[in-house]
Amino acid sequence: MYVKTNWVDDVTPISAEKLNNIEQGIFSSQYVSGSYTGDDISVRDIVLGFQPSAIFVITKSGMLFNGADGYGGLGMPGDPGTNNAGVAVVTIRPTGFRVYEDTGVRSNSSWATVNPFRYIAFR
């Protein structure tokens, strides 16, 4: 069981046990958020180290669609986030999620207006 440490500069010793407790707390959080910069590669995996139960991707300006082009969305296992034509924009992978760059699919676009993309992945 974890017991909270009251950290005091130059007083509280740092031990492997305490650092491992911190790492476990970070790993056990209910979600992970972050960002990535699109690079125009047609298929790109973003590695998180776990399979999300849901992933939400959005551009820095909050855009999900521009006309028929999909820039982000909500993906769940077996149910990807799609563009208006039903083409996958973001999909769940065993160790993270996948984004795409193709006609109508822009979740890995290098266009400066949309970068960096932001995401939240739920455990």
- 57-100 residue pLDDT tens: 999 999 999 998 999 999 999 999 999 999 999 999 999 999 99
Give the sign of the dihedral formed by CA 3, CA 12, CA 24, CA 26: positive
Sequence ranges of the domains in the chain? 30-122
Over 70: is that where the pLDDT of 2 sits?
A: no
User: Could you tell me the end-to-end alpha-carbon distance of the chain, in angstroms, rounded to an integer?
Assistant: 22
pTM, two decimal places: 0.78
